[in-house]
Structure 1
Amino acid sequence: MIRTLIATTIFVIALPFISLAGETEKIHIELDGEYLTAEISNAPVIKVLKELSAVCGAEVFVDASIQNNTISSNIHSLPVEKAVKRIVSPYSSVAVFSQRTNANGTKELFISDIKVFESSKGRDNVQYVNVSSSSTDSSGSVEDKPKKSQVYQSPFRVPPPVPGVHAKGSYAEKAQKRINEKMIESRIKKIAYMRSKASMEENRVRKEITRLKIELSNAALEDRRELSADLSAKTRELYNLQKRNITRIQNEERILRQLQARQQ
């Protein structure tokens, strides 16, 4: 009886430690074009941002006071800016967009810098640490150095004009309009391509569903259960595919509307 009581007591005491041991650190981040998927569990902010930098190729800076805090997140196929905001929640983030020339010789915007900071401090009153995979500064501390190619800083919107600098008819305003025109043209082409690709993907799954329905109607009784399971799986696949494609296209259309509004 006493031995049983001792064993039970030890087991009860050990339970919290077993629970803590189960909270393992996990970081998995994937980039598919302009969309990010991440599975993060109980990981320090600094480790997550280092992986994010390696995957996205951006310079990443973090508020030194929160770099060792742990975060968890699970997101699927979100635009990079929105994904970063979700990943670092409850902290704030800002993306810095810059301009570059791609392989086709046309200019495009890309995320060159990401800053993560404690919301209550504001992004300008922070001691930042560079956690980028390309950083060679052993101390990690960096000064804010604006890039010559920097266009704007904003996670989700096209920035408002700056009085004087973007005055009507000024060189800066004309240059910004030309950039916007290129971005609008590129975005329209991208949306058309995405619609075409989505249609092809969905039609492929629809053909599979049609084939399975025909096979199911002609199948023997013992084969119907397996075919029904395959049909249900394909139906779910089509639903998820349509949902993903609609979300992606709507995100691109929202950005396009913002750009078009700036041209008016």
Structure 2
Amino acid sequence: MVDLNYSPVPLLDNIDEEIMKQFVINSIISVFLTGALFLSNTLADSDNNKLRIELDGEYLTAEISNMPIIDVLKKISEVCGAEVFVDASIQNNTISANIHSLPVEKAVKRIVSPYSSVAVFAQRTNSKGDKELFISDIKVYESSSGGSNVQYVNVSKSAQTEHKSQVYQSPFRVPPPVPGVHAKGSYAEKAQKRINEKMIESRIKKIAYMRSKASMEENRVRKDITRLKIELSRAPIEDRRELSSELSAKTRELYNLQKRNITRIQNEERILRQLQARQH
């Protein structure tokens, strides 16, 4: 006979208390792991796109990961205060670099590698009244182009404000005249002239140093040749063959040294003549 007074026991009452505790603990762990995984992915994405550039005096430190060149160069321009131009064909390519306390010019070359870069120096008077050099312009371009026949985009903050989307065929020529800005005798033209003068002065000093160094190197070898000739004249017959061989090697060394030095100095002198012609 069926007992009509039967009342079902709630399901929860039948669940073992330990099982219930384990269920709750597992749920909490699951939520925690899901959150940790999400945070980890977020941080990983952040690490995959990193851009930190700091200037300490004349030294640059940078942490860059998978950033477009144009964004990196905008930051460099902002930090260093230089006008920065980038080859329009590579501006959206990504680069990565990690450098610590390098001079600005060397740092930029490392940062934009495998692309090429050139820095132009100008002169200014510091707060102490002393003359000093600073980087006024930087250009970055595809190495295979050699920097010629390239369209450059000025990524500097001033250019974005004043000349949006302006493209230059060459960043180191004065852009198309703007009344009162790039007219003949303007600040831009005078600044370029001062830059050329400083480059000429620097090139003259470099040539003088190269001549002095070449003379010291050649005189050192000449002294060795003179010594070997004296030793050869006094040496017994059995030792003369070895001394003759050394003398021939030193003579060849002097010839190659002179040839190399002449070529290098002539190249520098050719560049100097081009700079001087540009001034007139």
TM-score, normalisation: structure 2? 0.48
Alignment correspondent of 2:163:
137
Q: Is the 8 A contact 1:50 1:133 kept in 2?
A: yes
Count of aligned pairs: 149
Query: Residue 259 of structure 1 corresponds to which residue in structure 2?
Result: none
The Cα shift of 1:23 comes to: 6.0
Instruction: Please state if 1:96 is matched with 2:133.
Output: no
Correspondent of 2:139 among 98, 111, 115? 115
Matches for 1:1-264 after TM superposition, within 5 Å:
21=45, 24-135=48-159, 136-143=162-169, 144=171, 145=173, 147-150=192-195, 151-152=198-199, 160-161=268-269, 162-163=272-273
Q: Mark the CA change 1:134 to 1:163 in structure 2 (over 3 Å): closer, same or farther.
A: same
SS at match of 1:152: helix
Deviation at 1:108, TM superposition (A): 1.5
Distance 1:115 1:158 in 2: 23
Off by >4 Å, runs of 4+ in structure 1: 18-23, 164-167
Structure ranking higher in helix proportion = 2
Which segments of 5 or more consecutive residues in structure 2 lack a partner in the other structure?
1-40, 175-191, 208-267
Q: Distance in 1 between matches of 2:275 and 2:61?
A: 38
Cα distance change, pair 164–37 in 1 and its aligned pair in 2 (3 A): closer
Does the C-alpha gap of structure 1 residues 101 and 25 become closer, same or farther in structure 2, counting only changes over 3 Å? same
Q: Distance in 2 between matches of 1:122 and 1:49?
A: 19
Residue 100 of structure 1: how far off its partner (Å) = 1.4
Equivalent-residue separation in structure 1 for 2:84 and 2:135 (angstroms): 10
In structure 2, the CA distance between the partners of 1:74 and 1:166, relative to structure 1 (3 Å rule), is: same
Deviations 1:102-143 (A, max 9, x none): 222222111000000000001122100000122121113135
Alpha-carbon distance in 1 for matches of 2:47, 2:87: 25
Greater relative CO (CA pairs within 8 A, separation 6+): 1
Change over 3 Å in CA distance of 1:97–1:44 after alignment to 2: same
Asked whether the 8 Å contact 1:28–1:40 carries over to 2, the reply is yes
Q: What SS does the aligned partner of 2:163 have?
A: coil
Listed one character per residue, the Cα deviations across residues 40-72 of structure 1 (whole Å, up to 9, x for unaligned) are: 000000000000000000000000000000000
Following superposition, the deviation at residue 164 of structure 1 comes to 7.9
